[in-house]
Chain A
Amino acid sequence: MSLKKTLPIKHIVLSILSSALLLSLLGLLMQVKTDLHKSVGDIFLNLNMQTATANAVTSVVTFFRGIDTVGEVTVLFLATSGVALMLSTSQRTYAKIIKQDSFILNVGSRLLLSVIILFGAYIIIHGHLSPGGGFQGGVVIATAFLLLFLANPNMDLNHSILTLGESLSGSAYVLVAIIGLFKVNMLLGNFLPHPVSEIGNLISGGIIPVIYVIVGIKVGSEMAVIVEYFVKEEHEKEIENA
């Protein structure tokens, strides 16, 4: 038996190399200085009073770096379209699964649905006052639909309403951006009144809560579509096996 087989030389060399890499990377990262310059975030914190938003992260996400959020919403939209393109088949016939629905599960999930949707709406509407916002609240609303699907896989979502919500909210977001150009000569500018004295109130911050509501509707309907495709995918397989 050769030495090569008794000693896994390749593995030893590889692990030595990778640990050397890791150690040198650690040594480098230890030298990272965080206070070389005043960061743009500190400047935003100073400016944040002007936007009359209690939550500085929200004002950065929706206002100071607003076009990032337009792009992010677009990424989610594209992912939804991609999932729909992949998982929709031409002969998609939902033969109903013959399965005894549990009464308690059905009623319980419907009861919980309203509570979860209310909670999601709360997170969206209070995005500029407390942690949370359009993305988080939208996903919470989508998980309510996930619960419904788990309780009753035969359920169908009303696709025309979801598509309407998605298209309208997306277009509304772009329109808000363009109205800013005409009103305050800046794309995505804050054209609604936002007096500083109102800070901490529900209606404050100008367009910031408006944008988060739009984002919430869009993310909620998109995530519901994604969840539906993944649940129905499974459903279809079960029919084939039966």
Chain B
Amino acid sequence: MIGLLILFTFLSIIIVALGAILSKDITQSVMLFMGVGLGSVVLFFIFQAPDVALTEAVIGTGLSTAVFLLGIRHTSQEEVES
């Protein structure tokens, strides 16, 4: 079971990461990046690393996304400006 769980989590992380890179909208890309972080948290728990999982959840996913969202609030939202 655990192998399948790891496989599916990895697949979903990869899909979400592709979405984050390919998305034209910056906010959408940041939110999808948060998905990558959440998937990593699940994997870190499976890999018996609760300390890293907690750190990734709080810092890598929580505060990073908040800083991103606050930072891009007033820069351009589109990927390519006219």
Residues of A within 8 A of B (CB): 55, 57-58, 123, 131-133, 135-136, 139-140, 142-143, 146, 223, 226-227, 230-231, 233-234, 237
Contacts and interface: CB of A to CB of B under 8 A. Distances in A.
Contact of A142 (B53, B63, B70): B63
Contact of B51 (A57, A223, A226): A57
Interface in B41-61: 50-51, 53-55, 58-59
B50 A131 contact: yes
Would you call the interface of chain A mostly helix, strand, loop, or mixed?
A: helix
Contacts of B53: 131
Contacts, number: 47
A148 B67 CA distance: 15
A32 to B, nearest CB: 16
A123 B58 CA distance: 12
Among B51, B66, B71, the most chain A Cβ lie within 10 Å of the Cβ of B51
Question: B interface, how many residues as a size bin?
Answer: 10 to 19
B54 A136 contact: yes
Nearest to A223: B63
Interface of B: 50-51, 53-55, 58-59, 62-63, 66-67, 70-71, 73-74
Given A131-B51, A131-B53, A139 B58 contact: yes
Contacts of A237: 73-74
A133 B51 contact: yes
B43 to A, nearest CB: 15
Given A140-B58, A234-B73, 20 more contacts: A57-B51, A58-B51, A131-B50, A131-B54, A132-B51, A132-B54, A133-B51, A135-B55, A136-B54, A136-B59, A139-B58, A139-B63, A142-B63, A143-B66, A227-B70, A230-B67, A230-B70, A233-B71, A233-B74, A237-B73
B71 A230 contact: yes
